[in-house]
Structure 1
Amino acid sequence: MKRPNIAVIGSLNMDIVVKASKFPAAGETIQGDEIHFVPGGKGANQAVALARLGADVSMVGAIGFDSFGRTLLASLADSGVNNEYVKMAEQAPTGTASITLTPEDNSIVIVSGANAELRAADIKRAEAAIEAADAVLLQLEVPLETVEYAAELAEKHGKLVILNPAPARKLPDSLLRRVHYMTPNLTELAVLTGVDPGTDGDGRALEEAMDALLALGPDFVVTTLGAEGAAWKVKAGGSLARQPAHRMKVADTTGAGDAFNAGLAYGLCEGRGISEAAAFAAQVSALAVTKFGAQDGMPTMAEVAAYFQGKGG
C-alpha cells in the first residue's frame, strides 16, 4: 500500500494536566496530586498520530513566542511531522488547555491563544503542502473562516477533505459541501443537524441524525460512539454499518478521538475502503488509550500490527 501524505490544519495547545482527588468547591483551595505539561491540541495530536503510523505529515497551525510553543514544535519534529508551516504569532501566547483530572471525571478550560491567529493567508503560504497531499484533515479549534478557506484550497487541488467537527458548532453549507468525510461524535452530530441521535448510539435515532448530516453535503459520515465504537453511512445509500470498539485497559482517553481520526485518514489515503479504514482506526484508537498523554500515547504502525496480529481486527 502507498505511504499516505496528509496535511493537517488545526490547533496546537499545551495541556496543563492536574490530577486531584476531587474538584475544588467554589472558593476552595485543595492539594493536587500531580501536574503534567503535555503537548496537545486536536490538530497537533492528529498530526503526531499520523506520523507515528508512517505517513508524511505537514502541520499547519500557530504558536506563540514562548517556551510552550518551542516545546510543541519539538514534539512535532520528534515524531517526524513537518513543522515548517507552523506560524509564530507575535500578538498571542501559545494556546493552552487547563485540565483537572479526578477519579470520577475531568474538567477542561481552553484558551485559544495563537490558535485564534491562524488566518487564510497562513493557509495560502502552505498551499504547496496541500497540493502535495493526498488528503487535508481539519478540525474546529482554529477560526472557522480559516477552516473554510483550507477546504476551498483542498477542493481546488482535488484533495480528499476530512473534517473532525470538534468542538461542536453549526457549520455553513458551503463548507459541508466540500467535505468528503465528516467524523462527529454524538454531541457534535446533534449540534450539526438539530436531530437527537440518542445517548447510546443505538436505534433509528442515530441513523436519522446521520442521514440529516449527509443531506447537508458530506459523502460519508463516520460517528464515533466512545466505548461502543463507531458507525458510518454513505450518502449514495445503503444501511448503517458499525465498527465495535476494542476492550482495553484504559490509562487516558484524552487522545482517543484524535487517534481514531488519524487512523481513518491514514487508512483512506492508503486506498482502503471505509469498512477497512474504520476497523484500522478503531485499532489505533484502542491502543492510544493505554498510555498517558494524548501525543505520547499515539501508537506506531509496528505496535498496531504486533498487538492486533491474529486478533481478527
Structure 2
Amino acid sequence: MQPVLVVGETLVDIVHTPDGQVSEHVGGSPANVAMGVARLGHDTSLATTLGDDEHGRQCREQITDHGVVIENLDAGSHATSTAAATIDDSGAATYDFDLHWKLHPVADLGAFGHVHTGSIAATLTPGAEVVAQTLTEARAHATVSYDPNARPSIMGEPDTVRPQIESLIALSDVVKASEDDTEWLYAGRSLPDVMAAWGALGPSLVVVTRGGDGVAYRVTATGEFGEAPTRAESVADTVGAGDSFMAGLISGLLDAGLLGDADARDRLAASSLADVEGAISRALATSAITVGHAGAYAPTREEIEKDHG
C-alpha cells in the first residue's frame, strides 16, 4: 500500500486544567492525525513547519518517535506555533492560538496514495494556498480526506470562510467534521441536510462526530444515513479526540481498500453503508482510547484490538 501524506500545522498544546495544573503536549490537528495513522501501522509522512526552538525540538522528537517522517521543515524566523488549551470541569477544551503557517510545495507528491489535511492549515494564509494546490494535484493518483476542524477565533466569520471550506470539501473523497463545526458553519440547518449538501459537492463519505452522542455518517452513492454510539467509558479530556477518530477512520478505510489510489476512489464512490461500517467502528474505538488519556494520545492497533476487539 502506498504511503499516507498528512499536510498541516504542528504546534504545542499548553494545557490548563481546572485544578490549576499546566502541561505541554505536542499537537495540531494534522500532526495528531499523522501520529495516529502511523501508530495504526501505516507508512506516514507529515508536511509541516516547525521553529528552531525548544518547542520545535519537542515536536520533532515526539512525531518521529511515533513513526512519522517529517517533511518541509521551515518556519523562517518564527517560533513553533502554540495553542493554550483550557479544560473545563466536563473535560472540554477551548483554545487560544499563536500561529505561523507557511508551507513549501510537497516534493515527490506522486509517492503517496492518500493525502489528508484539515483544520487551521487549510484556511490560514499564506500556507492554505499550497494546501489547496497539493490536494488538487494529488487527486490525479491519490484519495483525499479533509477535516474542517473549525476554529472561529482564527477563521473569522462563517460566511467568510464557508466558501473556502466548501472548495476543499469538493476536492475530497472523505470529509469528517464535528457537530460544532456544522452548527457554526450552517446555523439552523439540520445535520442530515448539511451532510447531504456536502456529499453533493463530491465526497463519497461524510462523517460527523457528536461527542457523547456518538457519530453520524452518510454515503453519497446510496444516500444511506447511519448512526453509532460512542465507545468512551471515561473521559480525561477531549484534546485530540476528533483527530484520533480521523486517524482511525483513514486507517479503517485504507484496510478496506476504500482509500489509497484512484481505484480505491472508485470503490468508495460505489460503497454502501455496510461497506464503511468497519472503518467507523475502528474510528470510534480509537477515539475512545484517546479520551481516556490526558492530551492527544494516539493508540496502537494492538491496544484497539485488546480493548475493543
Q: Secondary structure at the match of 1:260?
A: helix
Counterpart residue identity of residue 256, structure 1: A
Cα deviations by residue, 1:33-62 (Å, 9 ceiling, x for unpaired): x21111111011111111111111000000
Residue equivalent to 1:101 = 87
Is the 8 Å Cα contact of residues 12 and 63 (structure 1) preserved in structure 2?
yes
Counterpart residue identity of residue 227, structure 2: R
Counterpart residue identity of residue 130, structure 2: T
Residue equivalent to 2:270 = none
Q: Cα distance, 1:177 vs. partner?
A: 2.2
Residue equivalent to 2:265 = none
Cα deviations by residue, 1:37-94 (Å, 9 ceiling, x for unpaired): 11111011111111111111000000111110111000111111111x1422113111
Is the 8 Å Cα contact of residues 139 and 165 (structure 1) preserved in structure 2?
yes
Q: Report the Cα distance in structure 2 between the residues aligned to 1:48 and 1:88, rounded to whole angstroms.
A: 19
Match of 2:280 among 260, 266, 278: 278
Q: Report the Cα distance in structure 2 between the residues aligned to 1:195 and 1:106, rounded to whole angstroms.
A: 21
Q: Report the Cα distance in structure 1 between the residues aligned to 2:169 and 2:306, rounded to whole angstroms.
A: 37
CA RMSD of aligned residues (A): 1.9
Q: 1:20 to 1:279 in 2, by over 3 A?
A: closer
- Output aligned runs, 1:252-291, within 5 Å: 252-271=237-256, 273-291=275-293
Cα deviations by residue, 1:125-181 (Å, 9 ceiling, x for unpaired): x332x322221111031133232112112113x211000011254134543321111
Q: Cα distance, 1:191 vs. partner?
A: 4.4
1:247 aligns with 2:232: yes
| TM-score, normalised with respect to structure 2 | 0.83
Is the 8 Å Cα contact of residues 252 and 292 (structure 1) preserved in structure 2?
yes
- Output aligned runs, 1:219-258, within 5 Å: 219-258=204-243
1:176 aligns with 2:169: yes
Is the 8 Å Cα contact of residues 196 and 209 (structure 1) preserved in structure 2?
no
Q: Cα distance, 1:195 vs. partner?
A: 5.6
Kindly tell me the number of residue pairs found equivalent between the two proteins: 276
**Which stretch of structure 1 is more off in the superposition, 229-238 or 41-50?**
229-238
Is the 8 Å Cα contact of residues 4 and 269 (structure 1) preserved in structure 2?
no
Q: Report the Cα distance in structure 1 between the residues aligned to 2:277 and 2:107, rounded to whole angstroms.
A: 31
Q: Report the Cα distance in structure 2 between the residues aligned to 1:208 and 1:88, rounded to whole angstroms.
A: 41
Residue equivalent to 2:77 = 91
Residue equivalent to 1:196 = 188
Q: Secondary structure at the match of 1:127?
A: coil
Runs of 4 or more above 4 Å deviation: none
Is the 8 Å Cα contact of residues 136 and 154 (structure 1) preserved in structure 2?
yes
Q: Secondary structure at the match of 1:285?
A: helix
Is the 8 Å Cα contact of residues 14 and 24 (structure 2) preserved in structure 1?
yes
Residue equivalent to 2:263 = none
Cα deviations by residue, 1:249-305 (Å, 9 ceiling, x for unpaired): 1112111100000000111111253211111110111111111121xx211110000
Is the 8 Å Cα contact of residues 30 and 119 (structure 2) preserved in structure 1?
no
- Aligned sequence identity (%): 29
Residue equivalent to 1:49 = 36
Is the 8 Å Cα contact of residues 96 and 111 (structure 1) preserved in structure 2?
yes
Match of 2:111 among 132, 155, 162: 132
Report which of the two structures shows the higher radius of gyration computed on alpha carbons: 1
Residue equivalent to 1:308 = 308
Cα deviations by residue, 1:199-223 (Å, 9 ceiling, x for unpaired): xxxxxx2211211222223222111
Is the 8 Å Cα contact of residues 259 and 284 (structure 1) preserved in structure 2?
yes
Residue equivalent to 1:112 = 99
Q: Report the Cα distance in structure 1 between the residues aligned to 2:135 and 2:42, rounded to whole angstroms.
A: 20
Residue equivalent to 1:14 = 12
**Which stretch of structure 1 is more off in the superposition, 230-239 or 252-261?**
230-239
Q: Cα distance, 1:224 vs. partner?
A: 1.0
Q: Secondary structure at the match of 1:274?
A: helix
Q: Report the Cα distance in structure 2 between the residues aligned to 1:271 and 1:133, rounded to whole angstroms.
A: 17
Q: Secondary structure at the match of 2:57?
A: helix
Q: Report the Cα distance in structure 2 between the residues aligned to 1:90 and 1:212, rounded to whole angstroms.
A: 40
Residue equivalent to 1:166 = 149
Q: Report the Cα distance in structure 1 between the residues aligned to 2:93 and 2:215, rounded to whole angstroms.
A: 23
Q: Secondary structure at the match of 1:15?
A: strand
Higher helix share: 2
Q: 1:176 to 1:99 in 2, by over 3 A?
A: closer
Counterpart residue identity of residue 147, structure 1: V
